[in-house]
């Protein structure tokens, strides 16, 4: 399978598995990934998602260049939309999404990692947006998410030069949250903890974080206040507050 799903309790591990461990993103792989993410978004039993690549060579070495070479403008538009669909699902589904970057994360592979809420890298990971070397630019959200995850200046550096960076520089720039080996185990550790949180609170927090660098500051603060108040109408908030006061683990019902 090109995008397989395994279960670890309430955590779903989505593994890209294509092309001898390089996990190249072709149309079949991206369609499968999008469809698996759609299923996980709707699955109430899944409370956190880890995205990784098969083997230790690559999270994903990027999009299939041979496939892209044959695309015309309308086909290129649809190809871009497919990548955006997968990225938006990772970014907006009401569950914490974590990228375990094991090896190369280039081009579309880096963009999928950027769409996740949290990113961890292996010590030997290499990340970059080399599309400019092919007379293209990152078209699956990279021009937007890279600047938000790091800084506009650093995004200009990577996107306009096409250079690849190692895990240490990625950590220094805030592109990843930590360097761990084995990186999958660290991602699972964090995902298991995230899976114990209230889905309603996670969904509201993600909505606000995703809009935090958009629109007017006053409007964003007003939306935060509104969403914060709405959570008090849910039984999860009563359970979380009660569990804290009673010094016990909460039992959320997602209500």
Q: Identify whether residues 92 and 205 lie together within a single domain.
A: no
The reply to whether 255 falls in a domain is no
| Cβ atoms of residues 47 and 194 within 8 Å | yes
Residue 255's pLDDT is 66
Q: Identify whether residues 110 and 203 lie together within a single domain.
A: no
Please list the pLDDT of the chain residue by residue as tens digits (255 residues): 799 999 999 999 999 998 788 999 999 999 999 999 999 999 999 999 999 999 999 999 999 999 999 999 999 999 999 999 999 999 999 999 999 999 999 999 999 999 999 999 999 999 999 999 999 999 999 999 999 999 999 999 999 999 999 999 999 999 999 999 999 999 999 999 999 999 999 999 999 999 888 778 888 899 899 999 999 999 999 999 999 999 999 999 876
CATH number, position 67: 3.90.226.10
Q: Identify whether residues 68 and 102 lie together within a single domain.
A: yes
For 91-123, what is each residue's pLDDT tens digit?
999 999 999 999 999 999 999 999 999 999 999
Residues facing residue 121 across a β-bridge? 101, 179
Q: Identify whether residues 86 and 26 lie together within a single domain.
A: yes
Whether 131 sits among the annotated catalytic residues: the reply is yes
Residues facing residue 96 across a β-bridge? 48
The reply to whether 134 falls in a domain is yes
Alpha-carbon gap, residue 129 to 108, rounded angstroms: 8
Around Cβ 177, how many Cβ atoms within 10 Å? 17
Q: Identify whether residues 218 and 135 lie together within a single domain.
A: no
The reply to whether 119 falls in a domain is yes
The reply to whether 234 falls in a domain is yes
| Residues spanned by the domain of 57 | 3-194
At 134, is the secondary structure helix, strand, or coil? helix
Q: Identify whether residues 110 and 177 lie together within a single domain.
A: yes
Residue 163's pLDDT is 98
Active-site position among 111, 168, 172, 226: 111
β-pairing, 11-16 with 3-8? antiparallel
CATH number, position 207: 1.10.12
Q: Would the pTM count as exceeding 0.85?
A: yes
Q: Which of the 8 DSSP states describes residue 132?
A: G
Last residue of a domain, one of 152, 179, 194: 194
| Cβ atoms of residues 29 and 18 within 8 Å | yes
Q: Identify whether residues 229 and 117 lie together within a single domain.
A: no
Q: Identify whether residues 222 and 186 lie together within a single domain.
A: no
What's the total number of domains in the chain? 2
Report residue 138 as tokens: 């990152």
For 189-219, what is each residue's pLDDT tens digit?
999 999 999 999 999 999 999 988 877 888 8
| Cβ atoms of residues 1 and 36 within 8 Å | no
Active-site position among 41, 131, 230, 239: 131
Last residue of a domain, one of 174, 194, 214: 194
Alpha-carbon gap, residue 75 to 94, rounded angstroms: 31
Q: Identify whether residues 72 and 181 lie together within a single domain.
A: yes
Whether 111 sits among the annotated catalytic residues: the reply is yes
| Cβ atoms of residues 60 and 130 within 8 Å | no
């Amino acid at each position: 399978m090109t995008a397989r799903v395994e279960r670890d309790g309430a955590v779903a591990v989505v593994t890209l598995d294509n092309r001898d461990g390089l996990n190249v993103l072709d149309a079949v792989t991206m369609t499968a990934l999008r469809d698996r993410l759609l299923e996980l978004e709707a699955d109430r039993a899944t409370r956190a998602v880890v995205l990784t690549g098969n083997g230790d060579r690559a999270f994903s070495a990027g999009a299939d260049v041979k496939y892209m070479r044959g695309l015309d403008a309308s086909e290129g538009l649809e190809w871009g939309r497919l990548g955006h669909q997968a990225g938006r699902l990772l970014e907006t589904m009401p569950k914490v999404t974590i990228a375990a970057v094991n090896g190369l994360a280039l081009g579309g592979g880096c963009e999928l990692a950027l769409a996740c809420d949290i990113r961890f890298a292996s010590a030997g990971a290499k990340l970059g947006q080399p599309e400019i070397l092919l007379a293209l630019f990152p078209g699956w959200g990279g021009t937007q998410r890279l600047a938000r995850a790091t800084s506009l200046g650093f995004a200009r550096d990577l996107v306009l030069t096409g250079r690849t960076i190692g895990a240490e520089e990625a950590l220094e720039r805030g592109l990843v949250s930590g360097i761990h080996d084995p990186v999958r185990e660290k991602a699972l550790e964090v995902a298991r903890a995230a899976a114990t949180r209230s889905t309603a609170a996670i969904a509201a927090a993600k909505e606000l974080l995703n809009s935090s660098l958009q629109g007017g500051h006053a409007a964003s603060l007003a939306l935060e206040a509104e969403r914060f108040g709405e959570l008090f109408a849910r039984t999860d908030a009563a359970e979380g507050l009660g569990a804290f006061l009673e010094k016990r683990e909460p039992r959320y019902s997602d209500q």
